[in-house]
Every structure is written in structure tokens, then in C-alpha cells.
């Protein structure tokens, strides 16, 4: 399975996913990846994660299939309905994947 996320500094993000048992080049199940994604950054901050600021730090899920799109939207909705972020809006974009530039 292939999944693409944007959640701030890629070194820190990659480190989170690479700690998952069985991950090779950051490969795990869609649900597990989405859970790590939502738990590893603040999806309520627009174009910023921690001290990093700019449009390259926006929170995003790039889906590769309709199943991935649905799973991401379901989890986003669950978070929105929870009290985890209070009344802050979740600004994470869920969009189709496009050209990927490896860093």
C-alpha cells in the first residue's frame, strides 16, 4: 500500500513512521498510518508545525485511492467531533496525490 502525508518537517515525520514495527520505507496499514499522522502533528495550524512556518508545512493527506480518501475523511470527521482539539478547526487538506518530489 502507498500513502502520502504532509505534517511538517519531513525528517521528524519520517522518524515517527520509521519506528513502527515492519515499516520499510515507511510502509504500514492505511489505518495505522492515518492514526500516526493525526497523532504526530497539530492539524489545526495552517502552514505551520512547531517552529517551522510556511506553505510547505501545511497538514495534508494525499490519497492514492478512493478507499484511502474515505478512510482519511472518516478519521478527520471523528477528530472534528471529538474534544481533542476543542473548538479549533482541523485545516488538514485531503486531496488526490500529484507529482511527488523526494527530498
Mean pLDDT of the chain: 81
Confidence at 66, pLDDT banded by 50, 70, 90? very high
What is the rounded distance in angstroms from the CA atom of residue 21 to the CA atom of residue 27?
Answer: 10
102, part of any domain: no
CATH at residue 30: 3.30.1060.10
Residue ranges making up the domain that contains 87: 4-96
Residue 9 appears among annotated catalytic residues = yes
What is the reported pLDDT for 54?
A: 87
52, part of any domain: yes
101, part of any domain: no
> Span 69-75, mean pLDDT?
93
16 pLDDT exceeds 70? Answer: yes
pLDDT, tens digit (0-9, with 9 covering 90-100), for 27-50: 577 788 888 888 888 888 888 888
pTM over 0.75: no
Looking at 3, 7, 9, 38, which residue is catalytic?
Answer: 9
Which tops the pLDDT comparison, 9 or 43? 43
Domain count, the chain: 1
103, part of any domain: no
Amino acid at each position: 500500500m502507498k500513502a502520502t502525508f504532509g505534517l511538517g518537517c519531513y525528517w521528524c515525520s519520517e522518524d515517527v513512521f520509521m519506528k513502527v514495527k515492519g515499516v520499510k520505507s515507511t510502509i504500514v496499514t492505511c489505518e495505522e498510518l492515518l492514526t500516526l499522522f493525526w497523532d504526530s502533528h497539530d492539524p489545526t495550524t495552517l502552514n505551520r508545525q512547531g517552529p517551522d512556518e510556511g506553505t510547505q508545512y501545511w497538514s495534508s493527506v494525499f490519497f492514492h485511492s478512493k478507499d484511502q480518501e474515505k478512510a482519511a475523511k472518516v478519521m478527520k470527521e471523528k477528530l472534528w467531533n471529538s474534544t481533542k482539539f476543542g473548538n479549533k478547526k482541523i485545516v488538514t487538506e485531503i486531496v488526490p496525490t500529484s507529482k511527488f518530489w523526494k527530498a
